[in-house]
A and B are shown apart, each in its own frame.
Chain A
Amino acid sequence: MTDKEQSFDITKTYLRFLEEDSDLTMPIAAIESLVTMLRVKQPSTSSELIKLVKSNIDTLKTSIPNAISLSAGCDLFMRFVLRNTNLYSDWESCKKNLVENGELFVQRAKASRERSAEFGVHSFSRVVYHLLLKARTEKLIRFRVIVTESRPTEKGYHMAKLLREADIPVEVIVDNAVGYVIHKVDKILVGAEGVAESGGIINHIGSYQIGCLAKTNNKPFYVVTESHKFVRLFPLAPNDLPDDIAKIIEKSNSQEQDRDLLKTHLIDFTPHEYITALITDLGVLTPSAVSEELIKVWYD
């Protein structure tokens, strides 16, 4: 055992990846750090490999708050490991293959974001930003964007700043004003933290109410997301999300808020009936097509 192997810390690696590249999403960073972990630790048997991956995923999931999209990436990698270990008879080539494929995945996942295919926008999402940017710079489409400030994180300002830098006319409104402006909006775009099995989305708080308003006003509500954010969850209501995720949200709230009367949550669940379509790297999917993609990965 060398020092390097001993000192490897998955959480630190993960955070470092996120820090180095601000364009990186959580699931990709997770997979990238798992691949790095495999390269450093060099497991010699397949059971050791599986155990190693499992324990590292657990450490990651527990140490990072708000881990929905992170766990989507981890689960996908785990599934990939389990599926491919028995495929190769000789262990060395399998290990090499895993590391290579993992790296390839990271590259492709980064590229997949570019590929996603035309506005009210809620909060900040990298995919939505890239999509708008692409529409503006490559297709030369002229449009205006209205961004919600999306309390309590106020990431909407960040989105607005980036869009303004890209010469896109942008306006920030308070979350309460969505109903007021929705009649003049043509399309609504949101990103997603995770996409559930039903086709509903888990996203920054406020998405659900915008979805409801969009439906009553007959405005299309599009979710722009990468397919590696599809998770195997079937929440029935916003408070039906897994315990560990919900708990962590409460914790991070109490750190931010010293006014004890105010109780805020960070994410909510928008059921599939409010979503017109999901724009993904696999093409434009209806919410009902999400389960199909998940089944393809997990059950065949």
Chain B
Amino acid sequence: MSSTTISPEILSLIDPVVSGLKRHQIVGDKVIALAICHLLMKVISAARWTNPYDLINIIRKVGTILHTAYPRKIITGNIVRRVLAIIRDEIETENSNNDNTPMMSSMFSLLSTNSNTSHKVQHNQSKKQSSDFRSVVIEGIRDLIDEIANVNEGIETMSVDLIHDNEILLTPTPTSETVLQFLIKARAKRKFTVLVTESFPNDINTAHNFVKKLADHKIETILIPDTTVFAVMSRVGKVIIGSSAVFANGGCISNSGVAHVVECAKEHKTPVFALAGLFKLSPLYPFNGDDLIEVGNSGKVLNYDDFKFVENVELVTNPLDNYIPPEHIDIYITNVGGFAPSFIYRIVLDNYKTEDNKLE
């Protein structure tokens, strides 16, 4: 596998994206996802291969580079794996045209003789074939781009079914564009109140803008301090959260502070809805929640100017994310429908190939 190296042309293609990710110049989950899609499209058009498995190795290498550029971003890996799944699907359909070996499932594959390795050797594509292959894969990535670009539309359509008239909603993720669009869409048919947490200290400004935007759309909006969540929870009908990554076990990564909101919701048996586009689903398993979390500027929690105080404090941290365990979420609203957390593994299996879970 390590025999394939990345040619300089491809390296020059990925460099700007890598530095953009490293410097946090490309921000926003959707923007990153689209940037990766476009990059992979360029890589596939520039790459040369005689055997489709070479292409897979190139994409995997690119994926590893992108992952190390921003290790805490799960989405980069998701997109790379989605593209790999597109390529593998294409190889599969090509092979099934050639020979009619029966499809074996994973547990059963222990018993079948046709392993991937034998396929790899026998299958070298002609020039004509590989250019056809290239165009099919690029077409697949185009579809993926469409899916990501229109992700909110799919999620919005469910909003009217989920929100009742005169309901009180709580959202602790004012940074989520998806949540904003979801609420605005629901307003077209329903009249409801939204409580928005202040999200101190990282997203205060975003929260204010969020509230303003909701108010502009004639939604009754109340900004509440983070500490009052438990007090208001008894009156809340639903908690709606955005997420930045969803894992195979049904847990997700969301803004810091969300973990305690969902804990309060659990105590009051308030349903928690998590909104997530399909591209946020990851085939990875979160063994250690702390490893997945990004830590930000601790000066926002305790100002460095306050040096007398700073001297006496042992540790100040400012986590930017929270890991939400699956048992605290009631349903995931995705652009392909609503799913229970325990069903997420199935959606993951539909969209990814298990061979690609490890990119290295």
Contact = CB atoms under 8 A, between A and B. Distances in A.
Given A100-B113, A286-B249, A87 B287 contact: no
A296 B345 contact: no
A288 B250 CA distance: 11
A141 interface: no
Contacts of B234: none
A283 interface: yes
B346 interface: yes
A97 B113 contact: yes
Interface stretch (A36-44, A103-111, A232-240): A103-111
Contact of B345 (A87, A109, A230, A285): A285
B112 interface: yes
A289 B113 CA distance: 25
B113 A104 contact: yes
A105 B346 CA distance: 26
Contacts of A112: 110
B262 to A, nearest CB: 15
Contacts of B248: 284, 286
A87 B102 CA distance: 9
A227 interface: yes
Contacts of A294: 107
A157 interface: no
Interface in B196-252: 248-250
Interface of B: 102, 105-108, 110-113, 248-250, 285, 287, 342-343, 345-346, 349, 354, 357
B282 to A, nearest CB: 12
Nearest to A97: B113
Interface in A100-145: 100-102, 104-105, 108-109, 112, 118
A228 interface: yes
A282 interface: yes
24 contacts: A76-B111, A87-B102, A101-B112, A101-B113, A104-B111, A104-B113, A105-B111, A112-B110, A220-B287, A227-B106, A227-B107, A228-B107, A228-B110, A230-B107, A277-B249, A282-B106, A282-B354, A283-B357, A286-B249, A286-B250, A288-B342, A296-B105, A296-B107, A297-B108
Main SS at interface, chain A: helix
B108 A296 contact: yes
A293 B106 contact: yes
A28 to B, nearest CB: 10
B110 A297 contact: no
Given A101-B113, A282-B107, A289 B102 contact: no
A226 B209 CA distance: 52
B108 A80 contact: yes
A297 B285 contact: no
A135 to B, nearest CB: 12
B160 to A, nearest CB: 30
Contacts of B287: 118, 220
Contact of A297 (B107, B113, B250): B107
A258 interface: no
Nearest to B354: A283
A293 B111 CA distance: 14
A284 B345 CA distance: 10
Given A284-B285, A288-B345, A296 B113 contact: no
A293 B345 CA distance: 12
A214 to B, nearest CB: 14
A20 interface: no
A92 interface: no
Contacts of B110: 105, 108-109, 112, 227-228
Given A87-B102, A277-B285, A282-B106, A289 B111 contact: no
A300 interface: yes
Query: Residue among B113, B285, B349, B354 with the most chain A CB within 10 A?
Result: B285
A19 interface: no
Contacts of B249: 276-277, 284, 286
A292 interface: yes
A232 to B, nearest CB: 12
A136 to B, nearest CB: 17
Contacts of B250: 286
B102 A296 contact: no
Nearest to B284: A284
Contacts of A286: 248-250, 342, 345
B112 to A, nearest CB: 7
Contacts of B106: 227, 282, 293, 296
